[in-house]
Amino acid sequence: MDEEIIRYDNVSIVFDETTIIEHFSLPVNKGEKVILRGPSGSGKSTLLKMAQGYARPDTGTVSYRKHAIDAETAWKIRQETAYISQDTDIGEGIVRDLIAGVFTYASNKSLPYETSLNKYLALFSLDEATLDKDFRTLSGGEKQRIVIIISLLLERTIFFLDEITAALDGRMKQQVADYFLSHKDWTVIAISHDEAWYREGSRIIPVGGN
């Protein structure tokens, strides 16, 4: 039987008296690859934020594994899912130290991330020398790939991806999209305008007026 991960049920949200999202409904089952497509300002990022409890609908409900999202479930969701955005402002310092810092948190401590790190660097065409650079000196595309790698090292299987390939070149857009789309068990809700995400097996969901 299909295992429901996220469900938007008749969700509406109003900001500053403007209705941004109106009567949006979408069930997302385990393993589905959902691509949200819509004009700028149509509320795509807000929908992803709702799925992690960072935004609340004015009417309707958003559920995670059949439980309406509230403060308690939001905490659990953030432990179990990964949100990656195109905002790569994750801090300063040497890349290797930044990555190590993520794994000093109690909840991530048991993950043997070092064994996977080199595999991901190679997969996304980053030199090992990148680890010894100051994060601030990396290009936008390099920063984006490091942020993606950190999320992958956390070994989550539910991903909310907000335009994560926007700063990458054509070949790398494809490489990253392929990686997320190819894992059968992973549940992915991605916002992207890049063609790399639009392919057989992806479920394209229009948001707003398109």
Ligand X SMILES: Nc1ncnc2c1ncn2[C@@H]1O[C@H](COP(=O)(O)OP(=O)(O)OP(=O)(O)O)[C@@H](O)[C@H]1O
Residues lying near ligand X in the complex (CB under 6 A): 15-16, 20, 38, 40-46
Q: How far is the CB of 38 from ligand X (least distance, A)?
A: 6
Residues 137/149, Cβ–Cβ less than 8 Å: no
Q: Is the dihedral of CA 78, 84, 89, 94 positive or negative?
A: positive
CA dihedral 181, 167, 126, 159 (to 10 degrees): -30
For ligand X, give the closer residue by CB, 49 or 95: 49
Q: How far is the CB of 165 from ligand X (least distance, A)?
A: 14
How would you classify residue 82: left for phi > 0, otherwise alpha for psi between -120 and 50, otherwise beta?
beta
For ligand X, give the closer residue by CB, 40 or 110: 40
Residue recorded with tokens 């990148």: 130
For ligand X, give the closer residue by CB, 26 or 152: 26
For ligand X, give the closer residue by CB, 45 or 165: 45
For ligand X, give the closer residue by CB, 40 or 139: 40
Q: How far is the CB of 103 from ligand X (least distance, A)?
A: 30
Beta pairing partners, 26: 8
CA angle, 94 then 100 then 103, to 5°: 150
* Interatomic CA distance for residues 17 and 108, integer angstroms: 41
Q: How far is the CB of 86 from ligand X (least distance, A)?
A: 9
Q: How far is the CB of 55 from ligand X (least distance, A)?
A: 7
